[in-house]
């Protein structure tokens, strides 16, 4: 069964021979609330099987459970290059993982308070983090 590993909200994620996570956010700080904010949502997926269809669901909720943006859904198949496939010695099936980074630009946050960022794979496993949203203190 596929699982969601880490979930992180940050300024940017890029590869320079290794994954670089730039400025992980411990708070979302638009100029004002309501206000817009851009960020990268990065997460890992574990125990993926090769060429099996998967469905990802991304949701962002405010403290009252209201959706910040419409639910984002993505269908994909995990197809790594043959030389990057790893065999599990415990059972003859492949054990694979991957990272996905999604850019969210100018998302409007209507309310202050803790917001939940959730990633779900195949409606079976969800990982959620909470980050406060508040107006920027650098005004």
Sheet holding 35-48, edge to edge: 19-24, 3-15, 35-48, 96-109
Question: In this prediction, what percent of the chain has a pLDDT beyond 90?
Answer: 75
- Measured torsion, CA atoms of residues 134, 135, 138, 139, in degrees rounded to the nearest 10: -170
* 10-30 average pLDDT score: 94
When pLDDT is averaged across residues 12-21 and rounded to a whole number, the result is: 91
Which stretches of the chain are DSSP H helices? none
Q: Give the pLDDT confidence score for residue 117 in this predicted structure.
A: 97
Which pLDDT score, from 0 to 100, does residue 83 have? 61
Hey, is 66 helix, strand or coil?
Answer: coil
How much is the pLDDT for 90?
A: 47
- What are the φ and ψ backbone dihedral angles of 82, each rounded to 5 degrees? -55, -40
pLDDT in tens, 78-97: 887 666 555 544 455 556 88
Question: What predicted TM-score, i.e. pTM, was given to this entire model?
Answer: 0.86
Residue predicted with more confidence, 43 or 85: 43
Q: Which residues, other chains included, contact 73 with Cβ-Cβ below 8 Å and sequence gap of 6+?
A: 55, 56, 57, 58
Q: How many CB atoms lie within 10 A of CB 43?
A: 23
Identify the band that residue 32 occupies on the pLDDT scale cut at 50, 70 and 90.
very high
Task: Report the candidate in 47, 38, 56 with the shortest Cα–Cα distance to residue 100.
Answer: 56
pLDDT in tens, 102-111: 999 999 999 9
């Amino acid at each position: 069964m596929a699982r969601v590993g880490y979930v992180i909200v940050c300024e940017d994620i890029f590869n320079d021979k290794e994954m670089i996570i730039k400025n992980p956010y411990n708070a979302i700080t638009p100029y004002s609330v309501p206000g817009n904010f851009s960020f990268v949502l990065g997460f890992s997926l574990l125990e993926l099987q090769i060429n099996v269809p998967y469905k990802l669901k991304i949701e962002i909720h405010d403290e009252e459970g209201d959706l910040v943006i419409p639910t984002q859904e993505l269908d994909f198949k995990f197809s790594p290059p043959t030389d990057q496939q790893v065999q599990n010695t415990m059972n003859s099936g492949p054990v694979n993982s991957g990272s996905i980074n999604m850019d969210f630009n100018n998302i409007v946050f209507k309310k202050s308070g803790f917001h939940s960022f959730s990633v779900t794979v195949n409606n079976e496993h969800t990982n959620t983090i909470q980050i406060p949203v508040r107006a920027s203190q650098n005004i």
